[in-house]
Chain A
Amino acid sequence: MTTVNIEIDGKKLQVDSGSMVIEAADQAGIYIPRFCYHKKLSIAANCRMCLVQVEKAAKPLPACATPVTDGMKVHTRSPKAIDAQKGVMEFLLINHPLDCPVCDQGGECELQDLAVGFGKDVSFYSENKRVVKSKNLGPLVSTDMTRCIHCTRCVRFGEEIAGIRELGATGRGEHMEIGTYIEASMDSELSGNVIDLCPVGALTSKPFRFKARAWEMTQLDTVAPHDCIGSNLHVHVRNNQVMRVVPRENEAINETWISDRDRFSYEALNSQDRLTTPMIKVNGVWQATDWNTALENVVRNTRKIIDQDGAGQLGCLASPSATTEELYLAQQLLRGLGSNNIDHRLRQLDFSDEDLAPAFPGLGQSIAALETVDAALLIGSNIRKDQPIAAHRLRKAAMRDAAIMFVNPVNYDFHFPVAANVACAPDRMVAELGGIVKALLALTAGQAPPGLTGLLDNIETTPAHRSIAGHLNRAGKATVLMGNYAHAHPHFTQLRALAGVIASLSDAALGYLTEGANSAGAWPAGAVPHRSATGQAGMNAADMLRNPRKSYWLLGVEPELDCANAPVARAAMQAAEYVVALTLFRNASLEASCDVLLPIAAFAETSGTYVNAEGVWQSFAGAVKPVGDARPAWKVLRVLGNLFGIDGFDYMSSEEVLAKVRAQATGDQPDNRLLWRAPGAWATSKGDLIRIAEVPVYAVDSLVRYATSLQQTRDAANGAIYINSILATRFGLAQGMPAIARQGKEEVTLPVVIDNRLADNSVLIYAGIPGSVNLLSDLSPLTLHKA
């Protein structure tokens, strides 16, 4: 790119020839006032606040829409510029209410700041101000539309970033209003970003409304705890309470955005249901107790079980959103006691290729690189809801005409054009990937690895297969990504093997989008049963539950909601003699299955490290003290290590724990191309009805499940039986009618929702919610009945 020489306020600058004056000024640290301009949005140039004087131009020019030219001389603070800026400010204030004392934006309002900096003391305007009715945009964004200055940042955000145009400017001139026109909620998973974008108090956070003033809060840094992207966050704290969460800019990860889940889940921190003191069950009755008593209870009872039945009777299920330090200490403790039964892959069912697995499941490329692909095939991924920030990167690629394609159990609504899409019942996914392999083999000189032909012989390629193969093959830069659903799929390893073949035939990067915030950290931390220093393998999560252990330790896990096959998990807990939960919350389900509840620190209350899908290790400090008597889990585990008398538990800080993991992890480079190994038999569909056990966006972990505002959104999990209209007709079911879904002796009764995004023979019943805990999430045939 060529550069030009310009001068702003006497400062000589060399800038890219394509840039606007405001960008050049920003780079040089010269502030030009603005409302409508935002570096991540298109240029609207409608507020005129950025007027500057340009030598040789007759009139002041908007800095945001004036390209730099060689030799240009700009004055941002000359009398002419200031006069123009003051004039604009006077116009903007004509219709803006002077209600700063009752406005939530007060103290952090761009209009307020600029009015102080650029406004006049008096106005010529003495007519009435207009009043605009506020709109109800749903549970997250609060509106005071009289305050709107029509910068249209929120409108452009919807169109350009969120990919759904929900807001618009209706009416004309003085009657122009920003809103949805008809009463409608904002349903984008990124909707909260308009709160940050709105320069005034027109769009503010509903959960945060009237809770605190900007100047009362301290800003601290942390990392988002829900998905494998690891968005960077600021938490705003007052009196040791997290008042709200906002994005911390990191161009390489989340740019300036965060998902609604990362923004609003903090509400759960102050939930009434937090466990604030250790509890033990004495003769079936729960009693609050002190830490010493509780931990002694744990040591005594665990020892008893180990002495009687051996350490193999001890199992640990850890949340994939636990910190690397917590996961490391949990496995150190368990292994110190002689058991290798530890796992964080709670929803995974098929582990048969884990010996070949990469050092950690990663994206195989940087997050930012996703926006540069020419073609992407996503397998079992609702990326828009599961990793909204990664989806935004892919959307940018799609807007450049990249072919984004899916093989999914549901024909999800995406906010970008989808080039090819296969929506099929879960038990058909293996065959569909086989079809893509076959189509690729026909296109390329590549060879099918041995053992694959058995699968391919019985497959006819469809136009969709050929289209996907064609796009991948033609693309300069391609990627194949396996999403959350693929990892939970009962034939995950077959899907992975085929994804690997597709990736190598099309020279694409293979990547994993995993559950939780720290799957990528759990592997180097050793929170998997087969990666121990001794080389001994323990039981994986599914085995531990299918073959009940006498004792379980739960680290941030609610077994019925967080594990695959909820009824199996519940039965295992009930059969166990002694269950310890390190938990944020107390609830009936945990109380029924556990013997000891230990309150631990949540997100923002503890220090720790998350490793994101790109392999970036991001450490953070605690922002607030844990509630009540809760303690950071790493400290609890350390004390337990000492009480058990295990060597190597003399850590003074979480950094020392991290150093230990880091030392072991050096040299770990993710190589996602697994060695090929044909499965014994390829999975085929028997034509049964199969349940799709998708985990909805606001049910992925206990923190979001207790976040009240998120639970009121349209994306909140709905206990229902989703089927397409063909299936509904076949079973004589209609929308809203109660129906029974049955697998063997397990059944649930839920209302029917007709959903034509679903393929035939599939029944979507969300997992991770109380209404579905009686159903399995494997390929067990399901039957539907009228209730």
Chain B
Amino acid sequence: MSERHDIFSAPVRADIDNWIAKYPPEQKQSAVMAALRIVQDANGGWLTMELMDAVADYLAMPKIAVYEVATFYSMYELKPVGRHKISVCTNISCMLSGSEQVVAHLQDRLGIRLGETTEDGRFTMKEVECLGACCGAPMFQIGRDYYENLTPEKIDKILDSLD
């Protein structure tokens, strides 16, 4: 077998092992989502092919099964992203409450379209499905934080506060 998971640092490996321990030994692939998140965080917010293959090896699962997970969920990135990832919800509740304006305002202000990254590498903007915060629609997520009941003014203030 190849030793590709050597590309994981010791803390990353410890973190993944921690998750593996939560499941029965013959079901360690249950840790795939956590493992992908951990290696993505350790890699500046995105997953390389090499990293996904290493996760597959580490969890003894087919590579394609890891690609399936990584391409299904919008929290995994398969291309480099900016320092701040703005995930704008455009699903039904947010759409009815004006997510189109949110997107339009972000596009004007940042000069990028959905799925793109600003040239200075600060912001990436992407469209996501319902994040379960419909009561605060329209909303987006930056990093780990939710921002709700967005207006253009509020958006400006949020963006100004980020480095």
How far does the Cβ of A567 sit from chain B's closest Cβ, in whole Å? 38
Decide if A180 is an interface residue (CB 8 Å cutoff): yes
Verify A168–B68 contact, CB threshold 8 A: yes
Which residue of chain A has its CB nearest to the CB of B49? Answer: A182
Q: Identify which of A167, A171, A172 contacts B64 (C-beta below 8 A).
A: A167
Chain B, residues 35-67, CB within 8 Å of chain A (1/0): the string is 000000000000001000000000000111101
A180 surroundings in chain B (CB, below 8 A): 64
Task: With both chains docked as a complex, state the minimum distance between the C-beta of B130 and any C-beta of chain A, in angstroms.
Answer: 12
Answer whether residue A651 sits at the interface, using C-beta atoms and an 8 A cutoff. no
- Is there a chain B Cβ closer than 8 Å to A682's Cβ? no
Q: Does B71 lie at the interface of the complex (its beta carbon under 8 Å from any beta carbon of A)? A: yes
Bound: A284/B68 CA distance, A: 63
Given A171-B72, A172-B72, verify A181-B65 contact (CB < 8 Å). no
Which A residues are in CB contact (< 8 Å) with B67? 168, 170, 181-182
Chain B nearest CB, measured from A400 CB (Å): 15
* CB-based contact A171/B62 at 8 Å: no
Residues of A within 8 A of B68 (CB): 168-170, 181
B72 near A168: Cβ-Cβ < 8 Å: no
Contacts of B64 in A (CB 8 A): 165-168, 170, 180-181
Q: What 0/1 readout, one digit per residue, does chain A (171-201) give for beta carbons within 8 Å of chain B?
A: 1100000001110000000000000000000
Q: Is residue A164 within 8 Å, beta carbon to beta carbon, of the partner chain?
A: yes
In Å, the complex CA distance between A489 and B25 comes to 41
Residues of B within 8 A of A166 (CB): 64
Q: Which residues on A sit within 8 Å (CB–CB) of B62? A: 159, 164-165, 168
Min CB gap B67→A, angstroms = 4
- Interface size, chain A (Cβ < 8 Å): 13
Q: Give the docked Cα–Cα distance between A165 and B64 (Å).
A: 7
A309 to B67, CA, bound (A): 71
Of A168, A171, A172, A182, the contact of B65 (CB 8 Å cutoff)? A168
Task: Give the docked Cα–Cα distance between A166 and B62 (Å).
Answer: 8
Interface residue SS majority, chain A = loop
> How near does chain A come to B61, taking the closest CB pair, in angstroms?
8
- When distances are taken between beta carbons in the complex, the residues of chain B under 8 Å from A171 are 71-72
Bound Cα distance from A168 to B69, whole angstroms: 10
Q: Are A165 and B71 in contact (CB under 8 A)?
A: no
The answer to whether A165 and B65 touch across the interface, beta carbons within 8 angstroms, is yes
Residues of A within 8 A of B73 (CB): 172
Q: How far is the CA of A414 from the CA of B138 in the complex (A)?
A: 53
CA distance A164 to B63 in the complex (A): 10
**Complex formed: what's the CA distance from A171 to B74 in Å?**
10
Q: Looking at the assembled complex, report how far the CB atom of B112 sits from the nearest CB atom of chain A, in whole angstroms.
A: 21
Q: Tell me, rounded to whole Å, the shortest Cβ–Cβ distance linking B74 to chain A.
A: 8
> Considering the complex, which residues of chain A in the window 469-498 have a beta carbon less than 8 Å from any beta carbon of chain B?
none
Interchain nearest-CB distance for B92 vs A (Å): 14
Chain A nearest CB, measured from B41 CB (Å) = 22
Specify which chain A residues have a CB less than 8 angstroms from the CB of B71 in the assembled complex.
Answer: 170-172, 181
Q: CA separation between A181 and B64, bound complex, in Å?
A: 7
What distance in Å separates the Cβ of B55 from its nearest Cβ neighbour in chain A?
Answer: 14
- B91-126 Cβ-contact flags toward A at 8 Å (1 or 0): 000000000000000000000000000000000000
CB-based nearest A residue for B1: A756
Q: Which chain A residue has the least Cβ–Cβ distance from B71?
A: A170
Q: Give the CA-CA distance A358 to B74 in the complex, in Å.
A: 64
Closest chain-B Cβ to A171's Cβ sits at a distance in Å of 5
Docked CA distance A168–B70 (Å): 12
A543 to B3, CA, bound (A): 49
A159 to B62, CA, bound (A): 9
Nearest B residue to A175, CB-CB: B71
Task: Please name all residues of chain B whose beta carbon is closer than 8 Å to the beta carbon of A164 when the two chains form the complex.
Answer: 62
Instruction: Give every chain A residue within 8 A of B63 (Cβ-Cβ).
Output: 181
Complex-state Cα separation, A166 to B65, whole angstroms: 9
Q: How far is the CA of A299 from the CA of B71 in the complex (A)?
A: 71
Closest chain B CB from A64 CB (angstroms): 22
List, in ascending order, chain B residues with CB within 8 A of A159's CB: 62
Kindly state the separation between the CA atoms of A182 and B73 in the bound complex, as whole angstroms.
18
CB proximity of B76 to chain A, nearest CB, Å: 11
Assembled-state Cα–Cα distance A167/B67 (Å): 11
Using CB atoms, name the residue of chain A closest to B72: A172
Q: Taking the nearest CB of chain A, how far is it from the CB of B78, in angstroms?
A: 10
Complex-state Cα separation, A181 to B62, whole angstroms: 12
Smallest CB gap from B62: residue in A: A165
Q: How far is the CB of B162 from chain A (nearest CB, A)?
A: 28
Q: Which residues of A contact B74 (CB under 8 A)?
A: 172
A166 to B67, CA, bound (A): 11
Within residues 117 to 173 of chain A, which ones have a CB less than 8 A from any CB in chain B?
159, 164-172
Q: In the bound complex, what is the Cα–Cα distance between A13 and B123 (angstroms)?
A: 64
8 new A-B pairs (CB below 8 Å) besides A165-B64, A168-B62? A166-B64, A168-B64, A168-B65, A168-B67, A170-B64, A172-B72, A181-B63, A181-B67
Of all A-B residue pairs in the complex, the 7 with the closest CB atoms, nearest first, are A165-B62, A168-B64, A170-B71, A181-B67, A172-B72, A168-B68, A171-B71
Measuring CB to CB, which residues of chain A are less than 8 angstroms from any residue of chain B? 159, 164-172, 180-182
30 A–B contacts from the bound complex (CB under 8 Å): A159-B62, A164-B62, A165-B62, A165-B64, A165-B65, A166-B64, A167-B64, A168-B62, A168-B64, A168-B65, A168-B67, A168-B68, A169-B68, A170-B64, A170-B67, A170-B68, A170-B71, A170-B72, A171-B72, A172-B71, A172-B72, A172-B73, A172-B74, A180-B64, A181-B63, A181-B67, A181-B68, A181-B71, A182-B49, A182-B67
